[in-house]
Amino acid sequence: MTGSDVGSEAERKMQFLFALRKRGVTNARVLNAMEKIDRGVFLRGLFAGRAYEDMPLPIACGQTISQPSVVGLMTQALDVPPRAKVLEVGTGSGYQAAILSRLARRVYTIDRHKRLVVEARRIFEDLDLNNITAITADGSRGLPDQAPFDRIIVTAAAEDPPGPLLAQLAIGGIMVLPVGQSDHVQSLIKVTRGEDGFEYEELLPVRFVPLIEGLGQE
Ligand code: SAH
């Protein structure tokens, strides 16, 4: 790599962080985690070169890696304490899980596509992210064996928050997820579980792939 390559790489990363701040990602812990985890590692071929653009990009199995600013805003809304046990539904590329792994004690991530889980696991190993467990399963049922979770993040859109996920959220816990019709406008919502029930807050309009029940074909 030449000196100018190093310069442009650093500059791209600075622009990436600047774009995140401009979109409202201001939490220092979140920005720090996003600075440390290189999004390019989670992309293949041509798309790896576009890793620092604030855009969703295609990954295997017809899925997408989310837009970085949306990853940042969701992670920020999740408000992850260092001791938290976190569940992510929708591993996809593994990018969101990798960011969570720097903020939480333990991360469980589930995808219905085995191929995505296998690829993500390999990246977690390469990056020495040893506190992530990636599992092939239908995440709309959650992960009853490991419940309750302090934080739950869903990165695929359901019409309503799935009941099993609400049930597996600890008292005092937070869940962030997109809800709405799959190809219409969806809202990102934050669900907080108190002693007496759930509180719902609408955060911003988003667009995610749908949450689909059952396992994928590959
Ligand atoms: N968080 C990912 C992006 C996820 S894209 C990243 O950082 O790259 C949404 C993912 O949700 C897809 O990989 C899709 O396979 C998965 N998904 C959809 N329905 C699911 C379900 N019921 N259980 C588990 N994963 C599901």
Rounded to two decimals, what is the model's pTM? Answer: 0.95
pLDDT at 7 exceeding the cut of 50? yes
Q: Which domains does the chain have, with CATH numbers?
A: 3-206 (3.40.50.150)
Strands 64-65 and 57-58 come out as antiparallel
CA distance 103 to 25: 15
Residue-wise pLDDT tens digits, 120-163: 999 999 999 999 999 999 999 999 999 999 999 999 999 999 99
Give the model's confidence band at 1: pLDDT under 50 very low, under 70 low, under 90 confident, else very high: very low
Ligand 1 atom closest to Cα of 88?
1
Mean pLDDT on 22-39: 97
Q: Is the pLDDT of residue 4 over 60?
A: no
pLDDT band for 101, please (50, 70, 90 cuts). very high
210 alpha carbon – ligand 1 mean position (Å): 8
Mutate which of 44, 93, 112 to test ligand 1's pocket (most atoms within 8 Å of Cβ)?
A: 112
Which residue, by CA, sits nearest to atom 16 of ligand 1?
A: 90
Catalytic residues, by residue number, are 66
